[in-house]
Amino acid sequence: MFKKLCIFFRIDRSDLSYEEAISIYKRHNGIIIDVRNPEEYKSKHVKGAINIPLYEMDNIKNEIIDPDEVILLYCKTGKRSRMATAHPDAWNGLR
């Protein structure tokens, strides 16, 4: 079970702000995953984030070594991040 799987782009009150996400990332030595496409990632991304586009979410298991790590997901609007949390193959066996 992950300690915490969070989305940071504030669509609603339960989402994290950028500042909250970075604070959690630093405090827990978490993983930041940018689920946007590679072109968006190359143009600008959060320092330290890794790029796993939504269409490649089944590869996330290859990036997560410790299932107890804090995972922070982000995209431009929050829509793809929410879709990523619901991706059936990405989190199978990790939650």
Catalytic status, residue 75: yes
Burial class (CB in 10 A: 0-12, 13-18, 19+), 35: buried
User: Nearest-5° angle of CA 58, CA 61, CA 63?
Assistant: 115
pLDDT tens-place string over residues 30-64: 889 999 999 999 999 999 899 999 988 877 777 77
Least trusted range by pLDDT, from 3-7, 47-51, 78-82? 3-7
CA 43 – CA 87 distance, rounded (Å): 25
CA 16 – CA 46 distance, rounded (Å): 14
Beta pairing, strands 50-51 & 4-7: unpaired
Q: Which of 75, 81, 84, 90 is catalytic?
A: 75
**For position 92, what pLDDT does the model report?**
56
% the chain with pLDDT above 90:
18
